[in-house]
Amino acid sequence: MSSPAGSEIDTSPGRYPLKRIAIFGPGLIGGSIALALRGRTPETSLTIWGRKPELLREILRRDLADSVEMDPVLAVRGADLVVICTPVGVMEEIAKTIAPHLEPHALVTDAGSVKNCVVTKLTPFLGNRFLGGHPMAGSERSGLDAARQELFAGAPCILTPTATTPPEVLASITEFWAALGASVTTMSPSEHDRLVARLSHLPHAIAFALVNLVSSTLPEKASLLAGGSFRDGTRVAGSNPSLWAGILSENREEVGSALREMATLLTGMAHQLESGDSNSILDFLTRAKEHRDQLPLPRPDEFL
Amino acid sequence: MSSPAGSEIDTSPGRYPLKRIAIFGPGLIGGSIALALRGRTPETSLTIWGRKPELLREILRRDLADSVEMDPVLAVRGADLVVICTPVGVMEEIAKTIAPHLEPHALVTDAGSVKNCVVTKLTPFLGNRFLGGHPMAGSERSGLDAARQELFAGAPCILTPTATTPPEVLASITEFWAALGASVTTMSPSEHDRLVARLSHLPHAIAFALVNLVSSTLPEKASLLAGGSFRDGTRVAGSNPSLWAGILSENREEVGSALREMATLLTGMAHQLESGDSNSILDFLTRAKEHRDQLPLPRPDEFL
């Protein structure tokens, strides 16, 4: 395999000092990283790349970065670490653009909520300097206005090293997230996608579907009678539809499987109920409650 | 149709003063009714029927009732209104036992979460003095310890009159629930069951199924990565399994249909994702978000 410019990292320094950081995408995640770095490691020099001049001006006004850039090439100049927090769909284009201009020792990571396609698409341009990441923190709100300094405090962050990731790269990016308060776990990109399909993408898909089932089969006034189980089971249906259409599509294979597994479980429950098999129903519910009661619960209203 | 003793109400007084009330079943709902009556209409004389002597002693110690009874016949003596708050499975037996001993003007209502089978089973014994009810308030906790004086404040309460329900009976029981702070709506028993199957029973079934899907297909440590969407989407899987196995079974036909409708929606999403039909997915999510954003939201953690 040929190595395009910028794809092989210079590992000679051994460890990577992350003194100058470039964030691509000043949304909920990028903005929260900036806020957290400003609060926790104010000595870090910070550049934010974005497309909207008015948002970049706001960033400077709020002192969320030392500089802002609309040119990706200028944004990565001098950066020890580039964190790509844009929608997954534009990451490949960004990687291609910045790769030839990265510092020899620069690391690149991302915060996309799917990993297999991101790692597959970005690695040809960025090589082993790239390590996929997914901070599992968020909110049904999006954008810079929703950003919070403590968004990552106590939140899980999954990093997805591959066979070619140098240990020093993994160590540095682990340190970066730990410094923001996140609790870092590693797994393969495929395992990540299988897992988040079931722990995050499926619950979102279910929430959207449950709202549509109710709105299409019940009279309008019925929603007035919705109680807490419906409210909580559909909370994340308030999330950004185009963001989530993107996430579900990018993880289509695993989300598709998870949706079919769920459909099979629900059809099985219907069958047990209709055939009067109340022992199986009771066993099913008891097993679920026992497992649910053992779960560590994240703080309310903070993680997606 | 012959009218067994106690089945036809004496409507001569026109309105029913509810000065003496008997509550059957001192659990979350029965206990909360007692607390609300004590707080809001302390002049009401209150009798609580239950099976457990230690619980009845606690009720007297806490002054939740003027008297307690283990004998259903003694419990209804002198009562203007009997409110059956036991599990649905034992309501028929209670109705049969108390019917011949009710005061001629006594009203009977219940708080069961299914209505078609309750109305069908109790009406032959209680006649038109019986009106089915369902206060849509609760918590994943159960029992007297979880009872709260303000459980019904602002909560919807559905009453299910039939063609034979005298308007005075409906008016009195509406007043009873309104006095506890509930917002009363009426509909037929079948419409009630169809509606709660989708607004309450289905979200519960989904929560239990989602926990089991995750616990059976992912490694144990995966649960550590569960975020807010999983937490909120499965909150009610912490509910009492035997209570909910009963509720789902008693509404088996409507819950079965709702589960199959949901399975069809989820399979449809899987198909759209796998075939790359991102427009349909985006439309589906957008429709859900628009509807969800318009929903009146009950206060957090209060209604089921």
Q: What is the mean pLDDT of residues A94-115?
A: 96
Model pLDDT, residue A38 = 96
Distance from CA of B301 to the nearest CA of A (A): 7
Name which of A56-65, A243-252, B250-259 the model is least confident about: A243-252
Smallest Cβ–Cβ distance between B228 and the set A202, A205, A303 belongs to A303
Model pLDDT, residue A300 = 45
Contact residues on chain B for A222, CB-CB shorter than 8 A: 195, 198-199
Nearest CA in chain A to B279: A245
- Residue B235 near chain A (CB below 8 Å): yes
Task: Phi first, then psi: give them for residue B253, nearest 5 degrees.
Answer: -70, -50
Handedness of CA A54, A56, A60, A62 (dihedral sign): positive
- Residue A301 near chain B (CB below 8 Å): yes
Exposed e or buried b per residue across A143-171, where buried means at least 16 C-beta atoms within 10 angstroms of its C-beta: ebebbebbbbbebbbbbbbeeebbeebbe
Model pLDDT, residue B3 = 47
Window 240-279 of A: residues touching B by CB (8 A cutoff) are 240-242, 244-245, 248-249, 252-253, 255-267, 269-271, 273-274, 276, 278
Read off the tokens for B161. Answer: 């009159």
Q: Is the pLDDT of residue B291 over 60?
A: yes
Smallest Cβ–Cβ distance between A238 and the set B215, B264, B292 belongs to B292
CA distance A223 to B264: 21
Residue B300 pLDDT level (bands cut at 50, 70, 90): very low
Read off the tokens for B53. Answer: 């002597």
Contact residues on chain B for A288, CB-CB shorter than 8 A: 207-209, 211-212, 215, 234, 237, 241
CA distance A122 to A4: 12
Q: Is the pLDDT of residue B67 over 90?
A: yes
Model pLDDT, residue A303 = 38
Q: What is the mean pLDDT of residues A249-271?
A: 97
For B140, other C-beta atoms within 10 Å of its C-beta total 20
Q: Is the pLDDT of residue A166 over 90?
A: yes
Q: Is the pLDDT of residue A173 over 80?
A: yes
Nearest CA in chain A to B223: A295
Check: complex ipTM more than 0.95: no
Model pLDDT, residue A17 = 74
Test the B interface: residue of A114, A183, A199, A271 with most B CBs within 10 Å: A199
Read off the tokens for B204. Answer: 């519960």
Q: What is the mean pLDDT of residues A193-215?
A: 95
Model pLDDT, residue B199 = 93
Residue B9 pLDDT level (bands cut at 50, 70, 90): low
- Residue A70 near chain B (CB below 8 Å): no
Note whether B180 and B33 are within 8 A (CB): yes
Model pLDDT, residue B17 = 74
Residue B304 pLDDT level (bands cut at 50, 70, 90): very low
Residue B71 or A11, more confident: B71
Q: Is the pLDDT of residue B297 over 70?
A: no
The fold of A192-294 is: 6-phosphogluconate dehydrogenase C-terminal fold (1.10.3660)
Q: Is the pLDDT of residue A4 over 60?
A: no
Name which of A218-222, B108-112, B259-263 the model is least confident about: A218-222
**Superfamily covering domain B20-187:** NAD(P)-binding Rossmann-like Domain (3.40.50.720)
Helices in chain B by DSSP H: which ranges? Answer: 28-40, 53-61, 72-75, 91-98, 116-126, 167-179, 189-196, 202-217, 228-233, 241-250, 252-274, 278-294
- Residue B64 is given by DSSP the state -
Task: Report chain A's mean pLDDT, rounded to a whole number.
Answer: 90
Model pLDDT, residue B263 = 98
Distance from CA of A302 to the nearest CA of B (A): 7
Residue B161 or A229, more confident: B161
Q: What is the mean pLDDT of residues B192-196?
A: 94
* Stretch(es) of chain A classified as CATH 1.10.3660.10: 192-294
CA distance A279 to B264: 25
Distance from CA of A256 to the nearest CA of B (A): 4
Distance from CA of A151 to the nearest CA of B (A): 13
The percentage of chain B sitting over the pLDDT mark of 90, rounded to a whole number, equals 78
Name which of A120-134, A227-241, A258-272, B55-69 the model is least confident about: A227-241
Smallest Cβ–Cβ distance between B233 and the set A203, A249, A273 belongs to A203
Q: What is the mean pLDDT of residues A21-41?
A: 96
CA distance A267 to A75: 52
CA distances from B215 to A286, A296, B222, B226 (A): 13, 14, 9, 11
Q: Is the pLDDT of residue B141 over 80?
A: no
Q: Is the pLDDT of residue A299 over 80?
A: no
* Stretch(es) of chain A classified as CATH 3.40.50.720: 20-187
At position A173, the amino acid (one-letter code) is I
Strand B81-84, strand B107-110: pairing: parallel
Distance from CA of B120 to the nearest CA of A (A): 19
Nearest CA in chain B to A275: B252
Window 137-166 of A: residues touching B by CB (8 A cutoff) are 137-139, 155-156, 158
The percentage of chain B sitting over the pLDDT mark of 70, rounded to a whole number, equals 91
Q: What is the mean pLDDT of residues A215-222?
A: 83
Q: What is the mean pLDDT of residues B161-179?
A: 95
Window 113-142 of B: residues touching A by CB (8 A cutoff) are 136-138
Model pLDDT, residue A219 = 81
Task: Report chain B's mean pLDDT, rounded to a whole number.
Answer: 90
Q: Do A205 and B287 touch (CB under 8 A)?
A: no
Please compute, for residue A148, the number of CA atoms within 13 A of its CA located in the half-sphere on the CB side.
15
Name which of A67-81, A120-134, B50-64, B241-255 the model is least confident about: B241-255
Residue B13 pLDDT level (bands cut at 50, 70, 90): very low
